[in-house]
Structure 1
Amino acid sequence: MVSRMYPPKPRPGDRVAVVSPSAGLPEIFPYVHELGLRRLRKEFGLEPVEYPTTRVLGADPRDRARDLTAAFADPSITAVLATIGGDDQLTVTPHLDDAVLRANPKPFFGYSDNTNLLNHLHRLGLVGYHGGSVLVHLGRPGAPHPLTMESLRAALFTSDWYELRPAREWGDEPLDWNDPSTLDIEPPMFPGTGWTWAGAQRTVEGPAWGGNLEILHWLAAADRIAPAVELAGAVFVVETSEELPSAVEVYRMLRNLGERGLLAGFPAVLVGRAKAWDFARPHTVEQRREYADAQRAAITRALTEYAPDAVIVFDVDLGHTDPQLVIPYGGDVRVDGVARRITVRY
């Protein structure tokens, strides 16, 4: 297992970069973006600094990489936050200046398509943070979710162990950003269901690795994932997106990672709560339950075949559902299958 460095943390009053390494959605949803920036200032005391492509949809990958490199190079910037995900960050990371990133380590926060950059930093020996989005989480309608904010605050400002907790309520049905009036309305939520534990009952500690399953599959196809021997011993963190991949697709993607030798090396697996609603597929409550159950069965099948001794936790709030817990990507995670507790070191 390759050792990795935790970057220094920001302090209230610091300048932090706000970038769009994936989709420049702030261009078409400026009111959501600006709400997130106001909350970044008010709730965390941080001063956001935007870059040329932050509000540009369809910016050239080289320009986005240039902004990322500039954010890491600027000594006055103490953290880097993504505005949102997308679907083409795979084309951005090859243009990064890795020497600059290594020489100027900073905490990077993002998820979904930002799995690309988190994995890239991981291969450079730097810990990143899976979670946090200026639009989705800081710009959440009504108010930011308290559990998200607590986790994000701890990840931004502390370096201690932090115990994750099951959400008392959760949701996967965002409101329509095309209607600015919805920013005053809380999104619909369901009562919390807790975590579901499966597999071995023991305590596992290791660095987190993984992210969005669809992006991991693309990274594997582009041969940008470290060899299985380097990732052995990691706590595998995995979740799926609003594209709602079928259970068959989920199984096949995990099977491919298993055939690559990856799954066998993971002693513990944290599975994000399945997002089961999208504007293109507005599922009923029953359809959502059926979708989530089918996905869980597919994941269980793959892990039974390729990682039968792993400790497994389902429905951890770490992905595309609301709230979202931040996971230190490459940082320490302890999964206690006996006491049924999950702690992370930020």
Structure 2
Amino acid sequence: MDRRRFIGGTALAGALLPLVGVGAAQAASPRTGAGRLLAAGLRKGDTVGLVSPSAASSEELSLQLAQEAMEAFGLKVKTGAHYGARYGHLAGTDAERAGDLNAMFADREVKAIVCVRGGSGAARLLPLLDYAAIRANPKILLGYSDITALHCAIQARTGLVTFHGQVGSGSWNAFNADQFERLFFGRELMDYRNRVEAGDELVPRKNRTRTITGGKVRGELVGGNLTVLTALAGSSYLPDFAGKILFLEEVSEAPYRVDRMFSTLKLMGALDQIAGFVFGECTDCSPGDGYGSLTLDQIFADFIAPLKIPAYRGAMIGHIREQFIVPMGGRVELDADAGSFRLLDPVLAAP
């Protein structure tokens, strides 16, 4: 993917100073209550903002579909001034994209912000975001993949719970729409358990979870896309990992590159601090031709199993058609034997 060529080369170099950077981020992050800031839930008729903080959309239909999907939820739509712009592969210059995002957080009419798509480029915006305004105007922020950079930085600098889930132009199938309705309108304490159907198979094959290490643990969620998260190593835009439950997903990466990124997480000290681990899907991550490759099973055995913390893989998180909407910073109980996690506290304030 294009975003990997942009950010992938920075990950190993950034791993040299990450613990200093994380500490600086926490020192600069005023928090409320138990360290979390909550946005209000949604009501029908509320206004949502559509922004493009990363790559440009290849066709106008994607922008139209994002708007129609939000309207189908009974919401009004306001679009960023540059959400359909293009600057190279990006949806406008850094200043334009950051300006759209800052404007949406400052706009009192807007109750939630939905990213049109991921791709590449969100990390370029992190020094340009108005974290004081975000802290003063907490709102739902929804997106995944490259949007991981925004989730991590906002979590680190403000404590705001944001949401890793379907982008505006993605598939709003029945499963994803149900997640949106139950979480944002219903403020439900979600139980994230894979939907498994055998179909015409003797035993289910799709959406299976696999336990790496059994057990239960409670903690706040951090994570997102593996490539994007590790590319922030050494910066002040990573949240604290101590005692947290790390969830990850990936797409179109050969196992040797996944192995390299888990090495970065190990070297920066993140893996030794976490209390639990969930891996979603690694879509299109097959080994290439040649002399062979480490398997994902071996990578998890090398990096996760020795931690002896509750851990499982196969959650419905990532570049897949049906995916969970996961609250970054939400407090959950993880059950690695059951292959599930559930919210313990509300992740939205009363609307």
| TM-score tier (shorter) | 0.7 to 0.9
The one-letter code matched in structure 2 to 1:54 is Y
The answer to which of 333-342 and 9-18 deviates more is 333-342
Question: 1: CA distance between counterparts of 2:121 and 2:293?
Answer: 26
Question: 2: CA distance between counterparts of 1:57 and 1:301?
Answer: 42
Cα gap change, 1:276/1:210 in structure 2, threshold over 3 Å: closer, same or farther? same
What is the Cα deviation at residue 270 of structure 1? 1.0
Question: 2: CA distance between counterparts of 1:219 and 1:157?
Answer: 32
For the residue of structure 1 that corresponds to 2:152, the secondary structure is helix
Are positions 1:258 and 2:273 aligned together?
no
For the residue of structure 2 that corresponds to 1:99, the secondary structure is helix
One of 82, 95, 101 as aligned partner of 2:128:
95
The one-letter code matched in structure 1 to 2:153 is H
Q: Deviations over 1:265-290 (max 9, x none)?
A: 2121110112117xxxxx8xx99xxx
Counterpart position of 1:114: 147
Are positions 1:232 and 2:252 aligned together?
no
For the residue of structure 1 that corresponds to 2:194, the secondary structure is coil
State the TM-score, normalized to the length of structure 1.
Answer: 0.80
Cα gap change, 1:7/1:15 in structure 2, threshold over 3 Å: closer, same or farther? same
Counterpart position of 1:162: 190
Question: 2: CA distance between counterparts of 1:338 and 1:116?
Answer: 30
Cα gap change, 1:215/1:34 in structure 2, threshold over 3 Å: closer, same or farther? same
1:37-76 alignment, distance < 5 Å:
37-42=67-72, 44-58=73-87, 59-76=92-109
For the residue of structure 2 that corresponds to 1:197, the secondary structure is strand
Q: Deviations over 1:88-145 (max 9, x none)?
A: 11111211111111100001001111011101110111100011211123xxxxxx32
For the residue of structure 2 that corresponds to 1:164, the secondary structure is strand
The answer to whether the 8 Å contact 1:209/1:237 transfers is yes
The answer to whether the 8 Å contact 1:152/1:325 transfers is no
Question: 1: CA distance between counterparts of 2:138 and 2:293?
Answer: 38
The answer to which of 73-82 and 144-153 deviates more is 144-153
Counterpart position of 2:66: 36
Considering Cα pairs closer than 8 Å and 6+ residues apart, tell me whether 1 or 2 has the greater RCO: 2
What is the Cα deviation at residue 36 of structure 1? 2.9
Counterpart position of 1:325: 324
State the TM-score, normalized to the length of structure 2.
Answer: 0.79
Counterpart position of 1:309: 308
The answer to which of 48-57 and 215-224 deviates more is 215-224
Q: Give the alignment's Cα RMSD to 1 decimal.
A: 2.5
Question: 1: CA distance between counterparts of 2:340 and 2:135?
Answer: 33
Question: 2: CA distance between counterparts of 1:273 and 1:207?
Answer: 20
The one-letter code matched in structure 2 to 1:324 is Q
The one-letter code matched in structure 2 to 1:31 is L
What is the Cα deviation at residue 223 of structure 1? 4.9
Cα gap change, 1:245/1:223 in structure 2, threshold over 3 Å: closer, same or farther? farther
Are positions 1:7 and 2:6 aligned together?
no
Cα gap change, 1:338/1:193 in structure 2, threshold over 3 Å: closer, same or farther? closer
For the residue of structure 1 that corresponds to 2:193, the secondary structure is coil
Cα gap change, 1:8/1:320 in structure 2, threshold over 3 Å: closer, same or farther? same
Counterpart position of 2:177: 149
Cα gap change, 1:147/1:293 in structure 2, threshold over 3 Å: closer, same or farther? farther
Unmatched tracts of structure 1, length 5 or more = 138-143, 171-189, 278-282
Question: 2: CA distance between counterparts of 1:223 and 1:81?
Answer: 24
Question: 2: CA distance between counterparts of 1:93 and 1:155?
Answer: 27
For the residue of structure 1 that corresponds to 2:304, the secondary structure is helix
Identity within the alignment, %: 25
Question: 1: CA distance between counterparts of 2:77 and 2:273?
Answer: 39
Q: Deviations over 1:7-27 (max 9, x none)?
A: 1112111000000011121xx
Question: 2: CA distance between counterparts of 1:130 and 1:84?
Answer: 12
The one-letter code matched in structure 2 to 1:197 is T
For the residue of structure 2 that corresponds to 1:78, the secondary structure is strand
Question: 1: CA distance between counterparts of 2:321 and 2:297?
Answer: 18
Question: 2: CA distance between counterparts of 1:339 and 1:292?
Answer: 30
What is the Cα deviation at residue 169 of structure 1? 6.6
Question: 1: CA distance between counterparts of 2:324 and 2:237?
Answer: 26
The answer to whether the 8 Å contact 1:274/1:292 transfers is no
Counterpart position of 1:192: 206
What is the Cα deviation at residue 35 of structure 1? 2.2
What is the Cα deviation at residue 222 of structure 1? 4.0
Q: How many residues align?
A: 300
Q: Deviations over 1:185-225 (max 9, x none)?
A: xxxxx9624211121x3221111101101001111154532
Unmatched tracts of structure 2, length 5 or more = 1-25, 27-33, 199-203
Question: 1: CA distance between counterparts of 2:293 and 2:55?
Answer: 27
The one-letter code matched in structure 1 to 2:212 is A
The answer to whether the 8 Å contact 2:69/2:168 transfers is no
Are positions 1:247 and 2:255 aligned together?
yes
The answer to whether the 8 Å contact 1:208/1:330 transfers is yes
Question: 1: CA distance between counterparts of 2:207 and 2:150?
Answer: 32
The answer to whether the 8 Å contact 2:211/2:337 transfers is no
Cα gap change, 1:99/1:32 in structure 2, threshold over 3 Å: closer, same or farther? same
Q: Deviations over 1:53-78 (max 9, x none)?
A: 11112211111111101100111100
Question: 1: CA distance between counterparts of 2:139 and 2:226?
Answer: 25
